[in-house]
Structure 1
Amino acid sequence: MATLVTGGTGFVGIHVMRQLAEHGETVVSLSTGGSLDDLAGEFLGKAEERVVSIKGDVLKLAEIRESLRRYEIKTVVHGAAVTAIGALEKEVPYQAVMVNVGGSATMLEASRLEGVRRFLYLSSATIYGSGDPAIPLREEFGVNPRGIYAITKRAAEQIVCRYLDLFPMEGAILRISTPYGPMERPTGRRELMSPIFGWCRAAAAGQEVTLSGDLQRDFTYAADTGKGIVLACEAPRLPRRIYNISSGRNISFSEALKILCSLQPKLRVRYEEVSGDQSFFRDSLRGPLDITRAREDFGFVPEYDVERGLRSYLKWLESHAA
């Protein structure tokens, strides 16, 4: 018996796979590329011994069914997606709809037909839309997705919920928010990086950081994001359908940069009008995700505040400097 992670070679997926494998689970990574590159293999370390990498397409039902049978998959963590945000939204809207919605339906149908026990869908905080940053967002709040990515995530959520209502397969939707940390990098399906991605690289290189306005976000260290997902995989039961996975606390961009400057004194910050890269975050200003459900139902408590996360991330970047 094993756990299948779609999008396993992606930023969040690699953290999920490593933690599952470290817990003794056999993990099957399904991605369009198939194999792990050197950096991913190094990141997994000894955990790679428990990871099987396969090439697959989440739109091909027969292919997915065969993989589920071959590896005796009991749990599916479906994270494969096209993150069509920013410039990528205009470039690949059709692909985003097909993969994010159609791929989710394919994975659900294959899982149903092959008797998968648990199906976890990795959704996004973007489905909440914009709002008052002082109000924590609970799962039962209304949603207002804007943009292709958020719309497709919400559509897939509804399909997941209906499948779980109709068929004897347990599962949940996990809404994740603004992960950052080791293994974040541009890919063909994810081009817009977290602000911290750029800041930390600039800090390590002694370059100037430009801050456009003072926004805020519940930045979540990727190890904590992975932890929340793994806890949901391992929980004896999931009594509720939707869970937020986040640090649970907003921090302003200026405060995060102040912490980063204390860790990297050579870092310089310049303020200017909103830039193209940060316009997405300005348009989606919102409160932090309330993580009470995840704490109550499967014991999720984030381990990293922003200072500890930045310190850890900078150390990792230093050890992987080109």
Structure 2
Amino acid sequence: MSAVDQTEENPSAKTGTYLVTGAAGFIGFHATCRLLEQGIEVVGLDNLNDYYDPALKQARLDEIARVSSRTGTRFDFVKADLADKSAVDACFNSHHFSRVIHLAAQAGVRHSIEAPDEYVSSNLVGFANILEACRNAKTPHLVYASTSSVYGANDDTPYSEHRGADHPLQLYAATKRANELMAHAYSHLYNIPTTALRFFTVYGPWGRPDMALFLFTEKILKGEPIPIYNEGQLERDFTYVDDIVEGVLRVAADVAKPNPEWDARSPDPATSSAPFRILNIGNNEPVPLLDFIDALEDVLGKKAIRDLLPMQPGDVKRTHADVSLLKSAVNYNPTTSVREGVGRFVDWYRAFYGVPGNTNDV
């Protein structure tokens, strides 16, 4: 079942317009393009901040404009900060949104240690503004980005939504866990259907420069050492962005509902008597970091200079998503191998930055 099949089963998902916050971001860009390809009109909201190169964000917006023109599907861009309540309210007052896909946030595990105020403003104040706007607009379904980082000190893998996630190891994770709790309160009080998606390590073309694949590719091509923490003894549930977006759009079309079997005396953290749920979205196949680097070296045709370093504060050794709930809900089935996904990223990187092909410098 494709994402198109899923929306056809739920006609209300194709009425009105989707709001995608963080539309100039990595996942938001891909989600927006996919929606436009499906003929769904999109309003994209982003503040285009300088956490990483704003030129890359603008290039994504330019590509979205090309997709909009080619498909004849309308895209409107709103430059606004989530923490600006009046701007968020104005956006909602100007449109009727059949779905809100909230992907905007201050991202980055390590940056949250250095600049905590940015996370409070974007991830807490900004999310509260989105919730209030959805309440006032009676939004049919809010889907928002959470993170695998919420599992924190819990090292019982594969991570399951049915188990607790209340010991975050850094502020970024804490703000995302707070978002889940805030959303539940709104689902309970105002009957707003909300779905949290706990993203595991997402990679692919148009990715973020602060993430491992982008950073490693850049440094390997320049002949610079790549930082490998915990001396490479890490595993990540790497998930290709197209598989992620497929899941996001299927979930958006499948409105969260109350769980009639939810028991207040033995509460399931993943569901509720309110229209609320939490879903992992990952690949369900952890890959050793060193194997990921091997695949990148193979695609680039160049060996990395490996700088083996100790474990970083706030990091975890292994992530592994149990995606059985997501599969049951929307028939989610990621299909892209790491070798294939890394190859697509490198092809995009070379084209975007004008880097020549295989150097054969192995």
Matches of residues 140-151 of structure 1 in structure 2 within 5 Å? 140-143=162-165, 144-151=167-174
In 2, the alpha carbon distance for the partners of 1:38 and 1:254 equals 31
Deviation at 1:237, TM superposition (A): 5.3
User: 1:13 pairs with 28, 49, 63, which one?
Assistant: 28
Deviation at 1:308, TM superposition (A): 1.0
Deviation at 1:211, TM superposition (A): 3.1
User: 2:105 pairs with 75, 81, 91, which one?
Assistant: 81
User: 2:244 pairs with 212, 215, 225, which one?
Assistant: 225
Matches of residues 1-322 of structure 1 in structure 2 within 5 Å? 1-33=16-48, 37-42=58-63, 45-47=66-68, 49-86=73-110, 88-132=111-155, 135-143=157-165, 144-186=167-209, 193-205=210-222, 208-212=225-229, 213-214=231-232, 215-235=234-254, 240=271, 241-274=277-310, 279=312, 283-322=315-354
Q: How big is each residue's C-alpha offset from its partner over 1:75-123, in whole Å with a ceiling of 9 and x where there is no partner?
A: 111122112532x324421221122111111111111111211011211
Letter in 2 for 1:321: Y
CA separation of 1:183/1:238 partners in 2, compared to 1, >3 Å: closer, same or farther? farther
CA contact (8 A) 2:29 2:60 kept: no
Per the alignment, in what secondary structure is the counterpart of residue 312 of structure 2?
helix
In 2, the alpha carbon distance for the partners of 1:272 and 1:236 equals 45
Letter in 2 for 1:302: P
In 2, the alpha carbon distance for the partners of 1:288 and 1:257 equals 18
Per the alignment, in what secondary structure is the counterpart of residue 124 of structure 2?
helix
Letter in 2 for 1:279: Q
Identity percentage over the alignment? 27
CA contact (8 A) 2:98 2:140 kept: yes
Larger Rg: 2
**Structure 1 unaligned runs (5+)?**
187-192
Deviation at 1:57, TM superposition (A): 2.6
CA contact (8 A) 2:150 2:176 kept: yes
Letter in 2 for 1:146: L
**Structure 2 unaligned runs (5+)?**
1-15, 259-270, 272-276, 355-362
Q: Which residue of 2 aligns with 1:190?
A: none
Per the alignment, in what secondary structure is the counterpart of residue 23 of structure 2?
coil
**TM-score (norm: length of structure 1):** 0.87
When the two structures are aligned, how many residues end up with a matched partner?
310
Deviation at 1:230, TM superposition (A): 1.2
Deviation at 1:210, TM superposition (A): 4.5
Per the alignment, in what secondary structure is the counterpart of residue 37 of structure 1?
helix
In 2, the alpha carbon distance for the partners of 1:159 and 1:182 equals 32
Deviation at 1:177, TM superposition (A): 1.2
CA contact (8 A) 2:160 2:321 kept: yes
The range that moved more, 200-209 or 303-312, is: 200-209
CA separation of 1:102/1:208 partners in 2, compared to 1, >3 Å: closer, same or farther? closer
In 1, the alpha carbon distance for the partners of 2:169 and 2:316 equals 9
Deviation at 1:203, TM superposition (A): 4.2
Letter in 1 for 2:290: S
**TM-score (norm: length of structure 2):** 0.78
The range that moved more, 299-308 or 227-236, is: 227-236
Per the alignment, in what secondary structure is the counterpart of residue 302 of structure 2?
coil
CA contact (8 A) 1:74 1:116 kept: yes
Letter in 1 for 2:228: L
In 1, the alpha carbon distance for the partners of 2:66 and 2:339 equals 25
Deviation at 1:229, TM superposition (A): 1.0
In 1, the alpha carbon distance for the partners of 2:108 and 2:281 equals 21
